[in-house]
A and B are shown apart, each in its own frame.
Chain A
Amino acid sequence: MFALEIRFLTGRYAAGRADAPGEAEWPPHPARVFSALTAALYEQVNPSPEDRNALDWLAQAGAPEVLAPNAAQRHLEEVYVPVNDVNALTDIDRHLDRLSTAMAESEGLEEEAAAKASREVKKLREKVRERSVATATADGTGTPENAVKILERRPRHPRRFPVMVPEHDVVHLRWPNQSPRPAVRVALDRLCARVARLGHSSSLVSMRLVEGEVEVVGRRLWRPDPDGHGFLRVPLPDQLRLLDEAFDQHQQVEPRILQADSARYLEARPDGTPVARAHSGFSNRPGEWIIYEVAGPPGGGRRTLLDLTLAQQVARALRGTLLASLDPNAPATLTGHGKDGRPTSRPHLAFVPLGDVGYPYASGSILGVAMIPARDLSVQDRDILLEGIFHAEQAAAADLGMRSETGSGRRLRLTLGRHGVVHLRRLAEPADRKTLTASRWCRPARRWISATAVALGRNPGNLRSRDPEVVGKATEAAEATVGDACTYSGLPAPQVVWIHRRSLASGAAAANRFMPFPDQGDGPRRVCVHTEIVFDVPVIGPVLLGAGRFFGLGLHLPADPPFSVGGS
Chain B
Amino acid sequence: MSAPTLTYEILSEAVKGAAAAIRSRTRLQPVGGPGDKVFPPTFGETIDIELSNGTHRTRYAMERRRIDGKDILCVLLDSVASQANRMEEALQRAWDEGRIQFPIVRVNFTGQTDEDPRLDLSTLGGDGYLTSLETPHRLADALLRDSMLDGLRFRASEPGLAFTEASIHHATPVYSLSPNALVFGMWDSTGPKGGQGAKFQRALVSEVVGVGAVPGVKTASRIDPAGIEINAGPVFEAADAAEEWTVHEDEAATEKGKSIPFSRRGGEKAGKPSSINHGNVTPTIDSEAGGVTLDHAEQVTVLSLPVLRRLRFPKNVAGDPHPAEGAAEAETGARTALAALAVAAVSFQREEGFDFRSRCAFIAEGPLEFEVLTRDGASEGPYTLDSAGAITLVRKAAEAADELGMGWPSDPVELVPAPKLVELIRRSRKVAAVADVEDGED
Interface residues of A (CB under 8 A from B): 7, 9-12, 43, 45, 69-70, 72-79, 82, 84-89, 91-93, 95-97, 99-100, 103, 128-129, 131-133, 135-140, 142-148, 150-152, 154, 163, 165, 167-168, 170, 192-197, 201-202, 204, 206-208, 251-254, 360, 500, 502, 504, 506
Contact = CB atoms under 8 A, between A and B. Distances in A.
Interface in B225-258: none
Contacts of A165: 63-65, 74
A99 B165 CA distance: 12
B77 interface: no
Given A76-B47, A151-B124, A194 B302 contact: no
A356 B431 CA distance: 50
7 contacts: A45-B169, A72-B63, A72-B64, A147-B421, A193-B20, A194-B310, A201-B201
B317 interface: no
Nearest to B430: A144
A96 B155 contact: yes
B419 A196 contact: no
Interface string B80-103: 110000000000000000000000
Contacts of A93: 155, 191-192
A97 B164 CA distance: 10
A147 B424 contact: yes
Interface of B: 18, 20-21, 23, 43-50, 54-55, 61-66, 74, 76, 79-81, 124, 136-137, 140-143, 145-146, 148, 151-153, 155-156, 161, 164-165, 168-169, 185, 189-192, 194-196, 199, 201-202, 205, 207, 300, 302, 304, 306-307, 309-310, 312, 373, 375-377, 418-425, 427-428, 431
Nearest to A99: B161
B242 to A, nearest CB: 24
Nearest to A85: B190
Contact of B63 (A73, A251, A254): A73
**Interface of B, helix, strand, loop or mixed by DSSP:** mixed
Contacts of B427: 144
Contacts of B156: 92, 95-96, 99, 128-129, 131-132
Contacts of A7: 20, 375, 377
A197 B62 contact: no
Given A73-B63, A74-B61, A84 B137 contact: yes
Contact of A502 (B55, B63, B194, B205): B55
B81 A79 contact: yes
A142 B424 CA distance: 7
A75 B49 contact: yes
Given A87-B145, A506-B48, A132 B424 contact: no
Nearest to B199: A252
B192 A144 contact: no
B81 A196 contact: no
A253 to B, nearest CB: 3
Nearest to A358: B48
B425 A144 contact: yes
Contact of A204 (B21, B48, B74, B79): B21
Given A75-B61, A84-B189, A202 B43 contact: no
B54 A150 contact: no
B373 A206 contact: yes
A208 B306 CA distance: 13
Given A88-B421, A150-B421, A10 B431 contact: no
Given A96-B192, A147-B424, A194-B306, 7 more contacts: A100-B161, A135-B153, A138-B423, A144-B431, A193-B306, A201-B202, A253-B194
Nearest to A501: B54
A136 B428 contact: no
A136 B418 contact: yes
Nearest to A362: B48
A507 B394 CA distance: 56
A152 to B, nearest CB: 7
Contacts of B43: 76, 78
B202 A9 contact: no
B304 A9 contact: yes
Given A43-B168, A74-B61, A253 B153 contact: no
A167 B142 contact: no
